[in-house]
Amino acid sequence: MYKAATVITEALYRRVVGEQVEKMSELRNTDIIYVTDLVACSHKYHLRRKYPELTISFEPSSVLGILLHKGLEEVLMSEGYEVEKSIETHVEIGGNRYILKGRLDAYNPNTRLVVEVKSSRSSKDLPREHHVEQLNIYLNMLNAESGILVYITPDKIVEYSIPREKIDLKNLVKNIVDDIIHPRYSWECSYCIFKKMCTYYVEEQKPQ
């Protein structure tokens, strides 16, 4: 007869939930906007600032994604990449100064190549628009020429070379601050942790 154990789960819980808890006060900070906010529904950013604890997750699929990132980052480190590199810039909107923060999965300081890693359960519709946009924002912030977007799914490992395209960062930040685009994608509300308390929630239309 087997007996239940929690040794490894507790260790994962301490690490994964602990890291999220550490970020709680930063999530409430009205001056900080993340690059990932710029490629998502603007209202999500506002709800997250009010209810940051609701973002804490210990879902097996996200734990798997975190572990995959850590594994690949170790491989890239041995290839000369810097991993989990924080970058930031300042953007002024209506007399307020916002800090735009991002974290690169990997960056090669010699070639200036930025690497963004995505794990996914599905390999449909790759590369995804918001992932390309996220990488492009990093490229604009660093003034780097190009980046690699790599997907690891249960049945595929594929990567895309993404060239920098000029974007108006200030306008993207303004859309978030003024809460202009909600949701940004038709599928977004179905996956949103705030959907039960959101005035702008829209049910995804199924194809006819």
Nearer to ligand SF4, 37 or 116 (CB): 37
Helix or strand or coil: residue 199? Answer: coil
CA 49, 52, 38, 46 torsion-angle sign: negative
Residue 43 binding ligand SF4, by CB under 6 A: yes
182 is a contact residue toward ligand SF4 (CB under 6 A): yes
Closer to ligand SF4 by Cβ: residue 54 or 64: 54
Q: Residue 117: which of 151, 67, 82, 68 has the closest Cα?
A: 151
The residue (of 75 and 197) whose beta carbon lies closer to ligand SF4 is: 197
Position 105 contacts ligand SF4 (CB under 6 A): no
| Residues 189, 123: Cα–Cα separation, whole Å | 21
Q: How far is the CB of 202 from ligand SF4 (least distance, A)?
A: 6
CA distance 33 to 135: 16
Interface ranges with ligand SF4 (CB under 6 A): 41, 43-44, 47, 182-183, 188-189, 192, 194-195, 198, 200-201
